[in-house]
């Protein structure tokens, strides 16, 4: 993190930013909770991918992005961050940006395809639960809709009238 910020702002600001990030109390949970280790690995590999992009090494960036995606799915934002960084922070042209970031997008698309198609047959379901067969296109559509909780048709337990009344009661104090 220090090296990435140093490249952007200089050593003094990078030292301050790294010290502030290290002092955050939120690091305690990922270091002691076993599932938090995935987050830490994802951060390490994501920062390495960004650093490789800034250094002009797309193959190394692709490798480290792949490792970040294997660690945690939230690394999907790295290609977009790298692209925006090249365009807005480093002020590179579209051609230069594509030369540095194309491998990240290829890895991301490949990872998305494998993720979504592996879930098509119900690989993510508990043993004994059958999802039936979904085509890769239908599986990708459902996965994208699931990001916004739109993959299933809403059906409130107490009916739509009750749900609307509760929603209005929740909005009344805000209004």
> What is the per-residue pLDDT across 124-141, written as a single tens digit (0 to 9) for each?
554 444 556 667 777 777
Report the SS3 class of residue 166. Answer: helix
Q: What is the pLDDT of residue 31?
A: 66
Q: What is the mean pLDDT of residues 33-57?
A: 87
Alpha-carbon distance values, 15 to 11, 19, 21, 126, 159 (Å): 6, 6, 10, 47, 56
**Looking at residue 45, what DSSP letter applies?**
H
pLDDT at residue 19 is higher than 90 = no
Better-scored residue on pLDDT, 133 or 171? 171
pLDDT band at 30 (very low <50, low <70, confident <90, very high): low
Q: What is the pLDDT of residue 153?
A: 73
Spatial distance between the Cα atoms of 58 and 66, rounded to a whole number of angstroms = 12
Task: From 57, 56, 101, select the one nearest 79 (Cα to Cα).
Answer: 101
> What is the per-residue pLDDT across 72-99, written as a single tens digit (0 to 9) for each?
888 999 999 999 999 988 899 999 999 9
For 19-23, 40-44, 137-141, 159-163, which range has the lowest pLDDT when averaged over its residues?
Answer: 137-141
pLDDT band at 119 (very low <50, low <70, confident <90, very high): low
């Amino acid at each position: 993190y220090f090296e990435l910020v140093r490249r952007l702002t200089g050593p003094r600001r990078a030292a301050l930013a790294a010290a502030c990030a290290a002092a955050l109390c939120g690091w305690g949970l990922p270091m002691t909770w076993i599932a938090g280790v995935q987050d830490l690995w994802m951060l390490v590999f994501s920062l390495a991918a960004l650093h490789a992009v800034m250094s002009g090494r797309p193959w190394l960036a692709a490798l480290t992005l792949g490792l970040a995606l294997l660690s945690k799915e939230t690394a999907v934002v790295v290609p977009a961050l790298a692209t925006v960084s090249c365009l807005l922070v480093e002020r590179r042209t579209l051609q230069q940006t594509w030369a540095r970031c194309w491998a990240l997008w290829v890895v991301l698309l490949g990872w998305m395809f494998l993720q979504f198609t592996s879930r098509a047959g119900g690989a993510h379901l508990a043993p004994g639960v059958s999802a039936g067969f979904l085509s890769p296109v239908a599986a990708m559509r459902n996965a994208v809709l699931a990001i916004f909780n739109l993959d299933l048709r809403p059906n409130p337990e107490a009916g739509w009238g009750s749900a609307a009344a509760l929603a209005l009661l929740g909005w009344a104090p805000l209004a």
